[in-house]
Amino acid sequence: MSTTNQSTHHTSTIGSIGTPSRRNTELALLVFAVAIPVFAYANVGLAINEEVPSGLLSYGLGLGLLAGVAHLVVRKFAPYADPLLLPLATLLNGLGLVIIWRLDQSKLLQSIQQAGTAAPRQLLYTALGIALFIVVLIFLKDHRVLQRYTYISMVGALFLLLLPLVPGLGQNIYGAKIWISVAGFSIQPGEFAKIVLAIFFAGYLMVKRDALALASRRFIGLYLPRGRDLGPILVVWFISILILVFETDLGTSLLFFGMFVIMLYVATERTSWIVFGLLMSSVGAVGVASFEPHVQQRVQAWLDPMHEYLLSRQGVGGHSEQAMQALWAFGSGGTLGTGLGQGHSDLIRFAANSDFILATFGEEMGLAGIMAILLIYGLIVERGVRTALAARDPFGKLLAIGLSGAFALQVFVVAGGVMGLIPLTGMTMPFLAYGGSSVIANWALVGILIRISDTARRPAPAPAANPDAEMTQVVRPS
């Protein structure tokens, strides 16, 4: 073996790979993510009206323009951000728009005033959402600024959560009081509370996590926290029970409590919190379901959807036909689906393009399509968790985990509800479903994640040369 070979063999260095900015990857994926909905749009038009829809060009240009502007802003203000978050969110939003437009075409839904002009409005909400996304990226230079507003966020989140209960402002839409009505618009404050609450939990747990993690006794493999450290989880549990009782919405309640438990687990690395969280949420849910009639109806419709459907058809009670109809929609889709625009999910009538939009996806794209959609959601969550792992500061870590955890829980609660795994709730599928609050809030959520990932992936500056280094000569044997 020659000397040079040996020398290179011995002087290898292990260093981190310089993270490239990946903006061109993002652009390529974004073009792909805009092309798929345009193709789907043409497909729906051909299937329903036997012609390429006249709005194809304007719709494609609109979505492309919004995505392009968002991309340019990311390129300028967050050059090292994750390349996948923006294209994934754009694709989901675009597919949602296509399916909402497809349901707009349904004569049945038009006749009962459930749809007709939803797609242009959703495009407007998307534009507002991307505008908020841009505002977040431009004005939030460093996510650590949010840490200063820990307790203001708490007050803000409680205020947002309580808004639907204010008489005159809150709206009771089909049992769930999670809406407010301002100047003719229905707003779901819970969607925004989700983000604000994540900021509060992250700031709070960052300061308190040592006390919550270290002071504990070990008991059959579990670290049991001291009684007084149970305070915060009890308070959050109590608030989520209050949400369940007064707003009668299982989804919102589950989302907030679940988000807190996830962040508590990540902050303290104690499995016992998860055990406690699961116990407390099941006790709470069962307890409330035993006396709250609206929750009871939802549980009945979940346990025996066919019974409820028949009762409702015969006009003798029965509260929800949709749970059963959604299951039929999924069933008639089969593996490969009926094809876009060729299903009959408009028979669900009420909330077909919001809460139950996943049923249309399931029927027209089949199991294969639904799996792809759920994987895309999974990838968004994965990128959020990856951002949290890469973040250097504990606040950024917790915030990224909180936001992606809330996103994952929301997808689970809605998809599980529509598919009959858990009782139905009044929440909507992020990005897919028709609804301004949801689209706008989730674009802001993605904006914050992109901001954190930009900070996390920014390459570390190279260490300066050590002046002593070249003075040391190492004489190596052989």
Helix (H, G, I), strand (E, B) or coil at 400: helix
466 binds other proteins (CB under 8 A): yes
For 269, the token pair is: 């690395």
Tokens linked to 48: 């329903």
Beta bridge partners of 217: 224
In angstroms, give the least distance from the CB of 457 to other proteins.
7
> Does 460 contact other proteins by CB under 8 A?
yes
Q: How far is the CB of 45 from other proteins (least distance, A)?
A: 10
Q: CA neighbours within 13 Å on the CB side: how many for 358? A: 27
Q: Note whether 79 binds other proteins by CB under 8 A.
A: no
- How many residues belong to the chain? 478
Site string for other proteins, 352-391 (x = CB under 8 A): -------------xx-xx--x--xx--x--xx--------
**Is there binding between residue 463 and other proteins (CB under 8 A)?**
yes
Rounded to the nearest whole angstrom, what is the least distance from the CB of residue 295 to other proteins in the complex?
Answer: 36
For the CA atoms of the chain, what is the radius of gyration?
A: 25
CA pair distance 241, 170, nearest whole angstrom: 19
Question: What is the pattern of x (binds other proteins, CB under 8 A) and - over residues 170-209?
Answer: ------------------------------------xx--
Burial of 12-27, coded b for 16+ CB within 10 Å and e otherwise, reads eeeeeeeeebbbeebb
What is the phi-psi region of residue 12: left when phi exceeds 0, alpha when psi lies from -120 to 50, beta otherwise?
Answer: beta
The answer to the question of residue 473 lying near other proteins (CB under 8 A) is yes
Parallel, antiparallel or unpaired: strands 176-182 and 170-173: antiparallel
Of 2 and 473, the one with the shorter C-beta distance to other proteins is: 473
Q: Single out the residue of 33, 81, 198, 398 in contact with other proteins (rule: CB under 8 A).
A: 33
Partners of 108 in beta bridges: none
Contact 256, 195 (CB under 8 A): no
What is the smallest separation between the CB atom of 7 and other proteins, expressed in angstroms?
A: 7
d(CA 397, CA 395): 5
| Alpha-carbon span 232 to 315, nearest angstrom | 47
- Per CB under 8 A, does 148 bind other proteins? no
Report CA torsion sign: 47, 51, 54, 57.
positive
Give the amino acid at 75.
R
Q: What would the two tokens of residue 263 be?
A: 């962040």
Would you count residue 8 as binding other proteins (CB under 8 A)? yes
Window of 169-177, 242-250, 289-297, 467-475 that interacts with other proteins by CB under 8 A? 467-475
Task: Tell whether residue 40 is a contact of other proteins (CB under 8 A).
Answer: yes
- Rounded Cα distance between 398 and 205, Å, is 8
Q: How many residues bind other proteins, per CB under 8 A?
A: 68
**464 contributes a contact to other proteins by CB under 8 A:** yes
Give the Cα separation of 252 and 247 in Å (integer).
9
Interface with other proteins in residues 253-272 (CB under 8 A)? none
C-alpha of 38 from chain center: 24
Q: Minimal distance in Å, beta carbon 216 to other proteins?
A: 17
Choosing from 221, 317, 461, 477, the residue that interacts with other proteins (CB under 8 A) is 461
φ/ψ of residue 297, rounded to 5: -60, -45
**Degrees (nearest 5) of the Cα angle 133, 28, 32?**
85
Window 293 to 352, contacts with other proteins (CB under 8 A)? 336-340, 342
In the bound state with other proteins, the residue whose beta carbon lies nearer, of 26 and 247, is 26
Q: How far is the CB of 288 from other proteins (least distance, A)?
A: 37
Is residue 13 at the binding interface for other proteins, with CB under 8 A as the rule?
A: yes
Binding flags for other proteins, 85-124, as an x/- string (CB under 8 A): --xx--x---------------------------------
Query: Exactly one of 1, 2, 3, 50 binds other proteins (CB under 8 A); which one?
Result: 50
* CA 180/CA 437 separation, integer angstroms: 11
Closest to other proteins by CB, 36 or 173: 36
Task: Give 79 or 287: the residue with its C-beta nearer to other proteins.
Answer: 79
Q: Which residues bind other proteins (CB under 8 A)?
A: 7-8, 10-19, 22, 25, 29, 32-33, 36, 39-40, 43, 46-47, 50, 83-84, 87-88, 91, 206-207, 336-340, 342, 365-366, 368-369, 372, 375-376, 379, 382-383, 392-394, 457-467, 469-474, 476
